[in-house]
């Protein structure tokens, strides 16, 4: 990218994320969104080839940064992991939440799927609780039009209180409205009065009481005192630890804060809201608000536009048919990967080792010493030939097949089917997808087990 400046500090989430800047005036923009909403397509469309990839510090979660320049500003775009919620249940969700909370981006773009806007608004509402510097990008407008879904973007912007733009990220020039909205937002030309989620009366009273105690101690903090108050009541250990590192002090140790939190929790418990059920009340309020916003801004000209998807869901995610279909399909993929890879692997091995024989003859003609032949031909080349002939064919079959499943929308259904069994071992359904990326011996064992289960 031709980088000249690297910034580490308040913008370094998890204590080490290096934001790649070309100038000290570059603005940092976080690109957030649910999985499979075209978030990466928006990111790629804005940045082109000006990208830098790596991992978030201390985590095996991929990060991508890119550079985008408009007439007004230059932006460093950070493509944070796709997440359905900021109530973190996985490493990806934790990374996304921490960057939005403690990475201090100059703006946040939340990418939504126009064909299922109500579901995506959950993340939008949670983001609005953290920051008012938000642009909502309603992507896949062409798909919504094809399904006869009409979205009133102006009404949606009025309801949410932040800029809303519609895009079809795959089309060139579609993102011009998004960059223009970013320019206006970062220049302070946009009126911002973000929608505030209304919780139940006891929870609202508890939040207000804690907020009164918290506000004097976070006057210079970018995070909303209301958001901080809600998180103190929720008392999620990982988030509170990140908050201590971000603020430089423990908010609970400040005068009056601990007493206000204890009194507010007692108030909530009097109305049946315990620490175990608090998240349920939060999620319920988010869902109700998303439903109200969607009902006011989205019109479906055909009520059966999702009928085919619903029929597929009933077949692919039901207890009676979902598991047998999943086992058969995954067994088929593993069978094709293992058995199908044997033929190209044999051909590739024969070709590469024929080249080894030719190299051996060449070294003999040149009267090269045996140690040189052993190091270069029997060492470096032979090992490389084995790795390529054994690893390349299975990868060339396995990953394209899984890509087809992902594009068809079946991988999220697999995650849904396996979420409850995986939760029993303190994991989530999304982790079921990584169990298939294993070595060939384990693939044979899994294929044998799946075949036995199907028979």
Q: Which has the higher per-residue pLDDT, 291 or 235?
A: 291
Name the nearest CA neighbour of 13 among 68, 88, 90, 80: 80
pLDDT of 452: 46
The predicted model gives 245-266 an average pLDDT of 91
pLDDT of 304: 64
Neighbours of 439 (CB within 10 A): 9
Q: Say if residues 249 and 220 touch (Cβ distance below 8 Å).
A: no
pLDDT of 303: 66
Task: Determine how β-strand 164-166 pairs with β-strand 134-139.
Answer: parallel
- From residue 57, how far is each of 331, 390, 414 by CA, in Å? 36, 32, 29
pTM: 0.72
Name the nearest CA neighbour of 43 among 111, 101, 104: 111
pLDDT at 439 over 90: no
Secondary structure class of 28 (helix, strand, coil) = strand
Helical (H) or strand (E) element with 255: none
DSSP symbol at 364 = H
Any residues with CB less than 8 A from the CB of 249 and at least 6 apart, and which?
Answer: none
Q: Note the pLDDT tens digit of each residue in 258-284.
A: 999 999 999 999 999 988 899 889 999
pLDDT of 56: 46
pLDDT at 455 over 70: no
Residue 362 confidence class, pLDDT cut points 50, 70, 90: very high
The predicted model gives 151-167 an average pLDDT of 94
Average pLDDT, the chain: 83
Name the nearest CA neighbour of 21 among 4, 46, 9: 4
pLDDT of 264: 92
pLDDT of 283: 92
Cα Rg of the chain (Å, integer): 26
Q: DSSP string of 41-108?
A: HHHHHHHTT-EEEEE-TTS--EEEEEEEE-SS-EEEEEEPPP-S-SS--SHHHHHHHHHHHHS--SEE
Angle, helix 117-130 to helix 278-297, in steps of 10 degrees: 120
The predicted model gives 301-316 an average pLDDT of 75
Angle, helix 237-247 to helix 91-102, in steps of 10 degrees: 30
Distance, CA of 308 to CA of 39 (rounded, Å): 25
Neighbours of 5 (CB within 10 A): 12
Name the nearest CA neighbour of 136 among 106, 104, 160: 160
The predicted model gives 297-307 an average pLDDT of 75
Neighbours of 229 (CB within 10 A): 26
Point out the least confidently predicted range of 110-119, 124-133, 198-207, 424-433: 424-433
Which sign, positive or negative, has the C-alpha torsion 310, 313, 319, 320?
positive
pLDDT at 394 over 60: yes
Which sign, positive or negative, has the C-alpha torsion 399, 404, 408, 410?
negative
pLDDT of 405: 82
Name the nearest CA neighbour of 127 among 91, 173, 176, 93: 93
Q: Note the pLDDT tens digit of each residue in 11-69.
A: 334 444 677 777 888 899 999 998 888 888 898 888 886 565 444 444 445 668 889 99
pLDDT at 291 over 90: yes
Question: 288: alpha, beta or left, given left = phi > 0 and alpha = psi -120 to 50?
Answer: alpha
Any residues with CB less than 8 A from the CB of 86 and at least 6 apart, and which?
Answer: 93, 96, 97, 100, 123, 126, 127, 130
pLDDT at 417 over 60: yes
The predicted model gives 364-389 an average pLDDT of 90
Work out the percent of the chain whose per-residue pLDDT is above 70.
86
Q: Note the pLDDT tens digit of each residue in 72-127.
A: 899 999 988 888 888 877 777 888 888 898 888 999 999 999 988 999 999 999 99
Helical (H) or strand (E) element with 40: helix 39-47
The predicted model gives 184-207 an average pLDDT of 89
Distance, CA of 454 to CA of 27 (rounded, Å): 54
The predicted model gives 414-435 an average pLDDT of 76
Residue 435 confidence class, pLDDT cut points 50, 70, 90: low
């Amino acid at each position: 990218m031709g980088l000249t400046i690297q910034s580490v500090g308040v913008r370094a989430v998890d204590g080490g994320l290096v934001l790649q800047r070309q100038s000290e005036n570059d603005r940092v923009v976080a690109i957030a969104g649910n999985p499979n909403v075209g978030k990466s397509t928006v990111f790629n469309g804005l940045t082109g080839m000006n990208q830098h990839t790596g991992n978030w510090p201390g985590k095996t979660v991929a990060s991508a940064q890119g550079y985008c320049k408009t007439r007004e500003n230059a932006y460093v775009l950070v493509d944070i992991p796709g997440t359905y919620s900021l109530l973190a249940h996985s490493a990806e969700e934790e990374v996304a939440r921490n960057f939005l909370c403690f990475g201090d981006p100059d703006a946040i773009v939340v990418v939504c799927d126009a064909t299922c806007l109500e579901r995506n608004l959950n993340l939008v509402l949670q983001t609005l609780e953290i920051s008012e510097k938000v642009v909502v990008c309603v992507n896949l407008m062409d798909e919504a039009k094809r399904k006869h879904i009409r979205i009133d973007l102006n009404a949606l912007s009025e309801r949410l209180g932040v800029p809303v733009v519609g895009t079809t990220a795959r089309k060139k020039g579609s993102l011009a409205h998004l960059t223009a909205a970013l320019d206006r937002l970062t220049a302070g030309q946009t009126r911002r009065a973000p929608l505030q989620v209304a919780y139940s009366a006891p929870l609202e009273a508890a939040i207000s009481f804690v907020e009164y105690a918290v506000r004097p101690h976070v006057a210079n903090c970018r995070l909303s005192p209301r958001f901080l108050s809600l998180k103190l009541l929720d008392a999620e250990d990982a988030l509170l630890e990140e908050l201590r590192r971000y603020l430089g002090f423990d908010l609970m140790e400040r005068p009056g804060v601990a007493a206000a939190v204890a009194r507010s929790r007692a108030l909530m418990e009097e109305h049946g809201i315990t620490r175990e059920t608090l998240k349920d009340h939060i999620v319920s309020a988010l869902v109700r608000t998303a439903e109200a916003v969607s009902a006011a801004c989205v019109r479906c000209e055909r009520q059966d536009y999702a009928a085919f998807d619903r029929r597929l869901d009933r077949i692919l995610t039901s207890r009676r048919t979902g598991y047998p279909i999943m086992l058969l399909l995954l067994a088929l993929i593993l069978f094709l990967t293992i058995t199908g890879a044997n033929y190209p692997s044999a051909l590739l091995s024969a070709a590469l080792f024929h080249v080894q024989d030719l190299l051996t003859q060449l070294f003999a003609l040149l009267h090269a010493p045996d140690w040189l032949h052993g190091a270069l031909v029997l060492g470096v080349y032979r090992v490389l030939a084995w790795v390529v002939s054994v690893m390349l064919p299975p990868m060339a079959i396995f990953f394209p097949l899984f890509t087809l499943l992902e594009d068809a929308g079946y991988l999220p259904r697999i995650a849904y089917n396996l979420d409850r069994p995986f939760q029993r071992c303190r994991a989530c359904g999304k982790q079921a997808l990584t169990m298939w990326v294993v070595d060939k011996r384990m693939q044979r064992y899994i294929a044998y087990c799946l075949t036995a289960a199907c028979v």
